Structure 1
Amino acid sequence: MADGADIIDFSSNINPLGPPAGLKEVLIKSYDELISYPDIKYRELRENISAYLGCHSDEVMTGNGALEIINNVSLLFKRVVVFTPCFIEYIKRPEILGREVVRLRLDNDFKIDLGELNKALKEGDLLILGNPNNPTAKRIPEDMLYKIQSITKERNAFLLLDEAFYEFCPFDYDSIKLFHNAQNVCIIRAATKFFALPGIRLGYAYAKGDFVKRYNEIESPWSVNSFANAAARNIFKDVRYIENTREYIKKEREFLLTELSGIDYLKVFDSQVNFILIKLLKYDEDILFDKFLKNGILIRKASSFEGLDKSYIRIAVKDHDSNKRIVNCFKECV
């Protein structure tokens, strides 16, 4: 088995290019800000986020990572509807808060069944969807998203879109622009994955002003730290970093999809993001996990996602040398 230092972690879907250049210096310069509480209203932070998202600062909510925003929004509703498989915290956080969670199944192609949604969704519900969804790596098509939002509006329900992986996707549409007049939509994004800053814990979201006011009434004060505020001065303005990352991930994603689709014992699902879901037609996740770990590669067992069994794994898109290495491991396992 490879030493821990030599293991390539394909279970973690963080930008392989690392954080934006120059951010370290920005954070060092902001060190003295740690002796004071952050602005409790996060005015500078919300201005930087709103400029990046293309909205008004009073339409921005902040949180200690996207997860805190999911938690706080769930607190505002009595019943939550999700489609599985999905990020487990869509289920876990509401249940911890004592909310009822209704689980619906994605269809065989991991698409949302509008008929099932129509039957299940009730007035006052919160519908949480990943866009793109984790672990299926699928983004909701624009026309489908319109239909989903229309159904939630008809039911007097609320739609929460988790778009933590948004920047990795093709920019064929921007849901913030699509729903700029919608009163029943909240869209979450984060610095965690794309900007490679899981330790900063910076989540942010867009919603119309009335909902933002409701959110502000129940959020914890000072939940976002000063380093996160300082990072926001830098990362959202780094256009070159954003464009380079998108181009790099697109190229490497296509490489992996092409190479892996030619391996007989794999069913590789199309991806629009920086990770890929794979169904194993031979072996199971435990066998492949052990085989890969001996070769210094860590993969994600996908049975931890409700709705998937041990025949599924998930891998991240990494740097080219690492991607070639995992392709060779898959081929050697034939």
Structure 2
Amino acid sequence: MILVAGGSGLLGRKVVQLLDANGEDVRVLSRDPARAAGLPAGAQVVTGDLRRGRLDAVVGGCSCVISVVHGFTGPTRTSPAAVDKGGNSRLIAAATRAGVERFVLGSVVGAGPHHPMSLHRMKYAAEQELHNSGLTGVTVRATPFMQTWLDLIGAKVAAGGPALVMGPGTNPINFVSADDVATFICLAALGDPRIGTEITVGGPDDLSFLDLAQHLLTLRGRSDSPRHVPLSALKALAALARPINPDLARKAKAAVVMNTTDMTLDASPSRRRFPEVAASTLADVTRSTHSAHPR
């Protein structure tokens, strides 16, 4: 049995589908059972929250635990500190008590103790927790998901609204398809020796927010230009919204960081070890999503 914590989210659903297609027995831990609709019929769904309650029964009988949870977005009490650090710490401890054979942690490229984004600092803390646990642990670090930012930038495009770019939008960023990351997480869970104890997964191209926005508009046959949220407004929002809407503040902070820091990545070293895993392009991703179909 393989437990997938966060199995009803963007990445988690893809992981569950791949494992199920491979004939694995899968247990899904999700805070909201309604979000588990559409998962493979054979998946066992357990309602629970990593932030509270006993987790021993959840991991019981599992040979592998996969954690792809995150607290970057969500309700007011959801945060990277509560989920990515605290929740993963509790899950790792329960897996240790249960004698789980393998623990796969979904993390982010750039995770570190001094990163400007709390998500990266808390993912790093979880990585250290896993490293010190004594478990056979594998960390899969990924760049930002193309699907996430296409949805944010193109939220109003299908209805004729603008493609909204956060900041200047010219900074090159390595985006990766969540489908590709799911494949590597499943390889890690199934013990592929090429993975080792950690792997960095990125996409084949460095693209900007403007590249994503223009691609979405072109798919719709539109010639108008994207609209921009000024960088100064994002900086102000990241500071002022923190006490009342931390979710919005984190998104604004992320946009500032992604506009002003080096977000490029040469993903080829990892990719060369896995020639059978497709390196999904922007066109590949938009072809497979409803929000980006041409008119």
Q: TM-score, normalised by structure 2?
A: 0.41
- Bigger relative contact order, structure 1 or 2 (CA pairs below 8 A, ≥6 apart): 1
Task: Compare CA radii of gyration and give the structure with the larger one.
Answer: 1
